Structure 1
Amino acid sequence: MQDNSNIKILITGGAGFIGSNLCDYFLTQGYAVVCLDNFATGFRKNITPFLENPRFELIEGDIRDKATCERAVQGVTYVLHQAALGSVPRSIQDPVTSNEVNVSGFLNMLVASRDAGVKRFVYAASSSTYGDSEALPKVEEVIGKPLSPYAITKYVNELYAGIFSTTYGMETIGLRYFNVFGRRQDPAGAYAAVIPKFVMQFMNHESPVINGDGQFSRDFTYIDNVVQMNALALQTTRPEAVNTVYNTAYGDRTTLQDMVYLLRTYLAEYDPVIAQIPVVYGPPRAGDIPHSLASIEKAQRLLGYQPQFSFAQGLKEAVAWYWNHLPQLKK
């Protein structure tokens, strides 16, 4: 394996779901990794396995604090910026905090990275940027109007990154994540993502509630595909591949109803009772887009992206992980 020990990567939000998986991967590849997290939505348990690794450093701090950002980027070659307040409902409930973290915090990290001479700034963008655009599949150059405060913040990130590329010569790459799921995604809390939330409910012998009639569809993307995209974005040497944004997805869509039925089937392999649990349908959720499907052609062409996990393969992996890591929920 190539010696990467002299390359330091800062992963903001590194104790979160996606961030901790990135920490794990880049440590196994021999890089030095700095994790910056304020543990607002991340968990110490996600990074506990790394704390004894001499190539891992934890900085507990908030991206809203400029001095913290400046400290975190010292000696860093690459930034993988994952820190954000996710969730459309959370942003509708509290748009001010979402903006402070996702816009002001993002700008702090850009400025700190620019001033420290960071080689490349790769950041978590969002499929929510497509807003009310009904075109399918989603292609990077065609977006609509945002449908939530969260979507606005993630679009503003792209605008700022573009300005820093053209004005200051920084290399930036945005990854528009599509419904990422997998190991370490939190199943609890008011803003839990749909898959881990439903896993916990099924394991607890409770009926999950689908918002709407179940025919809304999503390009559910397994975490290992997302890790691959971050690695490709960090490592590419093609000039035409930087200073742009990429869909980060599998490139297929699944209805919420089909997702729930498949999830129930996989969980029932561990607990047959789950096969009999009924699914409940509720009202649609404010700010939700009906359908989401990514074109991954641009990432395939410019980055060489080849997703390794289909939705079904990823869901099976995720279910196995949850079953082994949520024993307290087993009946």
Structure 2
Amino acid sequence: MNTVDFDRYDHVRPIRWTGEVLELLDQRVLPFETFYRRLHTFDEVAAAIRDLVVRGAPAIGISAAWGVVLAAKQVSAGDGQAALKQLQPAFDVLNASRPTAVNLAWALGRMRAVLAKSGSDWLSALEQEALAIATEDLAANRLMGRAGAELIDVGSGVLTHCNTGSLATAGFGTALGVIRAGVAEGRIDKVFAGETRPWNQGARLTVWELQEDGIPATLIADAAAAHLMKTGQVQWVVVGADRICANGDTANKIGTYQLAIAARHHGVKVMVVAPSSTVDMDTASGEHIEIEERDPGELLTALGKRTVAEGIVAWNPVFDVTPHDLIDAIVTERGVILSPDETGMRAVFGTP
């Protein structure tokens, strides 16, 4: 197999730190506009996370880390402990911006830990930690790309859901990183992407990313997934995760659970790809995950135009939980867990 050509398949960068401001590629206006929003305060970063300017669990964590740095630039303190007390309101606001993605709390925890042990150089230490979080994420994605691609037979078709590419990470992507690696190595012949209503991350973002890298992809309606599997054109469903529990249960974009059910019926395998920062060994199972519900109005409109009659009630959970027994492989930078369960998870990540 050929070596993965990272330069060819890794063009998009959604997060840019200038040294003074955080620039986020506004994913709400893609693919028709490529616009970076310049954020100067932690409140602006929290709002950007909440309003889906930036999305994807790793990208949310990275953005929040830079949000702490922005807050720190407004603080005067002699050491990290003193700064930590002043920055607690910023940590609280950033942590509350999205409840489901564990990477958010994980990244903020790293920033707190750095502050707690820093002296007079605490601001520089914070900047270095935020940069490390982003750099480590990119490296992890490339490792996972190779590891996940090795599970896929030559000539396979894959289906992915939501957006798990460079737009959702520091670069290369998680599930989309596996797809990029699989295409580069000649393992994947066909790529299908579900539209992922109501925000259409698959339709607006995933197929755009793949087009940018010259990877042919076919968009399908979410409701067409089971029929696609029945035709035999896909052998794997490859998705990301916003939280992976100690037993392997996985929270991901709404619609993942039904894909896993359909995949099991049709003999299609399911791969979850996420960095270790997404693994939450302190949460025993998916029953304990808080599922975020967003404004029902998101279901009532398309491209800013109302498509549903007045007075209609909508329900808008944006994540669901796929039980571990419907997952064939969890791929992280620490290793691959086949047929994941609590024993397999502990073998890689230890006891909480």
TM-score, length-scaled by structure 2: 0.33
TM-score, length-scaled by structure 1: 0.35
